[in-house]
């Protein structure tokens, strides 16, 4: 009985998942991400890359506060971030513009 119920649930879930409409190009273009987290040496801050503004920039957030702060504002993407040293400096690299 349990296996029949489980199989029914899986089939129903699969049917629902495949019945959804495909994403539009606008939805794909609006996908935002955060990546490359770097924790400060004292563990109080995390710096990361996010493309929430349209280009990948360096953001930082204190662990005790949910409000992130944008640290860079370049036309081109930033490709790397690291918090290091006693003074907890943010090291980053801007992507090379091609063309």
Beta strand segments in 1-99, E = 34-39, 45-50, 57-62, 69-70, 78-84, 89-94
Q: pTM, whole model, 2 decimals?
A: 0.65
pLDDT of 13 reads 57
pLDDT of 15 reads 53
Interval 26-73: pLDDT, tens: 877 777 889 889 998 888 899 999 999 889 999 999 999 879 999 999
> What is the average per-residue pLDDT within 84-95?
71
Q: Is the pLDDT of residue 85 over 60?
A: yes
- Dist. CA 56–CA 52, nearest whole Å: 7
């Amino acid at each position: 009985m349990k296996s029949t119920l489980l199989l029914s649930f899986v089939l129903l879930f699969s049917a629902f998942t495949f019945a959804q409409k495909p994403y539009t190009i606008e939805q794909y273009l609006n996908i935002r991400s955060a990546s490359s987290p770097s924790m400060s040496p004292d563990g109080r801050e995390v710096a990361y890359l996010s493309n929430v503004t349209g280009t990948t920039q360096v953001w930082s957030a204190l662990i005790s506060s949910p409000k992130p702060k944008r640290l860079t504002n370049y036309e081109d993407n930033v490709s790397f971030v690291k918090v290091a040293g006693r003074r907890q400096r943010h090291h980053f690299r801007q992507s090379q513009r091609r063309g």
